[in-house]
Structure 1
Amino acid sequence: MAGLLEISRVGVDSLPQDLHYRVTDSNTGETVANVSPVSVGETPQESGFKKMRKAAKLGPQLSRQPALRRYVPRITVVVTDAWNSAVLFVDRAEKIVGNPYVPHCAVVEPGGRVAGYLTDDHYKFPRPSEDDVDPDGMGVIGGRRHLRDQAGEALCDVVFRFAMPSMPQELNHDPNVDTTRFIGQNGTVWARRRGGNPVVEISPDAPQPLRTLILAAAIAETIDEDYHRPWPDSPYTPPPPLQAVPDPYPGYADVHSRYMEYQQEFVEWYRKHMTGRFTSSL
């Protein structure tokens, strides 16, 4: 059986219990890792008055957006291999009220060394213009989501591709068409998804620590599907709290400190600049 960081086709399956997942080698169907929570923050219990104050601060236009109103606590999961040994932690920062976008994740080794980060540029608009197309004529969203090393340097741009209205929409489900590409700084495609398949295909030439970050991104995006629900008809239940005693890894308390400052600044910027604007894309 190939090791977790050696497989070329990564599948992540949700299990019935909250925040439990199974990582599989999609070439063989074998389970190569399990994911389980080690720390989940509390969701604040707020009175109707506090909710009304927050809605008033956002304004009538923005307060109708569920992704803005919703608070999601910090979620930390551990990835364990077939021998139940910890391989890495995926630590998703809390998403505060007023931020509609996916929060950053830290990818941390068992000893506390940060392997890298999964980041989202909140200031970049999440919809492409008609000019945002690649040589194949596919619409692209790039330059927003990145895999970064421990120093914050971008290693990969996570680029989403989809058929524009003038193209056959079947292309979005064609198993031969890339719908997500993990593109290195030199233009190399290190990993991809095809069609509507959630499996991540990793190049055999992908180096470390990039391979670890691609694996972590596949896990983090599965968590996002469960807890980042921006549409009014999307049901949302906060994850059950789980207090870690002691901290899951050294440095746990401060790993998101810089991002939380960024998030607070963004929330203020967003409230001032987006009030009254068209926000249905959130």
Structure 2
Amino acid sequence: MAGLLEISKVSVEPLGQELHYRVTDSTTGTVVANVSPVAVGEPPQVSPLKRFGKRVMLGQLAGWPHLRRHVPRITVLVTDASNSPVMFLDRADKITGNPYASQCAVIEPDGRVAGYLTDDHYKSPMPTADVVDAEGMSIVGGRRHLRDQNGTAICDVVIRVAIPPLPGALNYDENVDTTRFVGQDGTVWARRRGQSPLLEISPDTPYPIRRMIVASVIADTITNDHQIVASSSKNPLTPLQAVPDPYPGYADVHSRYMEYQREFIEWYRKAMTG
């Protein structure tokens, strides 16, 4: 039986419990991995006065729920079919004022950093008719990357959208790539088609890239379920304190990113309000 880092068609399905998922080889229907939380941060304790102060600071942006919403740090453990650890996925806090999903670190079972799933918050996430590929699809590339342990980009996550004059039906066509994971030499290592959550990975994908792609599929599912929400009324996640830390180096793995996030929030507020 092929393992999690060997399969070519990957799907992630939520289970009944919060932050619990199973990963399936869609070719055979076999469950190849399970995902469960090991640490979930406490929501910030904000007094009414501080909450009012934040709204004043955000100004006209205060009415946007995705800016008001803080999402705590989430760390999950991925285990294989025999319940052996494969990797940790550690999503940094999304601080109030940041509209985008936060960085996720991919951690080996022994605590070594395998890589990062990152977004350039300063670049627009929206496709335009000005940037198209050879097939006329509008694309967003160079914003989201899979990076190795040194922070070097090894894969560009490219979003493809059909906008006029192309027919909108292309965005739902199961034969059309809507997401591509593109290596630094231009090789397409993985793809999603239409609106399917299924990810297809090329059998030739090198192990380091494959591992980060699989991690990205799981992390994206968690993000879509718990971090990118239309309303701040969504039930908060249940805190879960890891005792001791889930892996060595846990305390500092996001320290540089958190500083980056704070700097971006200040820049974004000024850019949006003038």
**Are 1:100 and 1:230, in contact at CA under 8 Å, matched by a contact in 2?**
no
AA at the equivalent of 1:82: A
How far apart are the structure 2 equivalents of 1:97 and 1:226?
18
Partner of 2:260: 262
Partner of 1:11: 11
Q: Cα distance, 1:229 vs. partner?
A: 2.8
AA at the equivalent of 1:244: A
How far apart are the structure 2 equivalents of 1:225 and 1:51?
26
**Are 2:128 and 2:139, in contact at CA under 8 Å, matched by a contact in 1?**
no
AA at the equivalent of 1:68: L
Partner of 1:30: 30
Partner of 1:94: 93
Deviations 1:190-219 (A, max 9, x none): 000011111111111111211110000000
How far apart are the structure 2 equivalents of 1:51 and 1:130?
39
Query: What does 1:53-72 correspond to in 2, within 5 Å?
Result: 53-59=53-59, 61-72=60-71
Unmatched tracts of structure 2, length 5 or more: none
Partner of 1:74: 73
How far apart are the structure 2 equivalents of 1:229 and 1:263?
16
Aligned: 1:115 with 2:103: no
3-state SS, counterpart of residue 206 of structure 1: coil
AA at the equivalent of 2:26: S
How far apart are the structure 2 equivalents of 1:238 and 1:114?
28
AA at the equivalent of 1:146: H
**Are 1:176 and 1:194, in contact at CA under 8 Å, matched by a contact in 2?**
yes
Q: Cα distance, 1:235 vs. partner?
A: 5.0
Query: What does 1:1-282 correspond to in 2, within 5 Å?
Result: 1-59=1-59, 61-232=60-231, 236-275=234-273
How far apart are the structure 2 equivalents of 1:235 and 1:82?
36
- TM-score, scaled relative to structure 1: 0.95
How far apart are the structure 2 equivalents of 1:77 and 1:83?
17
3-state SS, counterpart of residue 273 of structure 1: helix
Deviations 1:18-43 (A, max 9, x none): 00000000001110000000000000
How far apart are the structure 2 equivalents of 1:267 and 1:245?
31
3-state SS, counterpart of residue 50 of structure 2: helix
Q: Cα distance, 1:230 vs. partner?
A: 4.3
How far apart are the structure 2 equivalents of 1:175 and 1:251?
42
3-state SS, counterpart of residue 56 of structure 1: helix
AA at the equivalent of 2:50: K
How far apart are the structure 2 equivalents of 1:15 and 1:137?
39
18-27 or 164-173: which moved more?
Answer: 164-173
AA at the equivalent of 1:128: P
1:139–1:235 CA distance, 2 compared to 1 (3 A): farther
Deviations 1:211-266 (A, max 9, x none): 1100000000000111123434x752221000000111111111001101100111
Q: Cα distance, 1:47 vs. partner?
A: 3.0
Deviations 1:136-194 (A, max 9, x none): 11111111100000000000000011111322211111111000000000000000001
AA at the equivalent of 1:10: V
Q: Cα distance, 1:50 vs. partner?
A: 2.0
How far apart are the structure 2 equivalents of 1:42 and 1:193?
34
How far apart are the structure 2 equivalents of 1:71 and 1:195?
31
3-state SS, counterpart of residue 274 of structure 1: helix
AA at the equivalent of 1:189: V
Percent identity between the two aligned chains: 67
Q: Cα distance, 1:46 vs. partner?
A: 2.5
1:235–1:25 CA distance, 2 compared to 1 (3 A): farther
Q: Cα distance, 1:273 vs. partner?
A: 1.3
Aligned length: 274
Structure 1 stretches of 4+ with a deviation exceeding 4 A read none
How far apart are the structure 2 equivalents of 1:165 and 1:113?
46
- TM-score, scaled relative to structure 2: 0.97
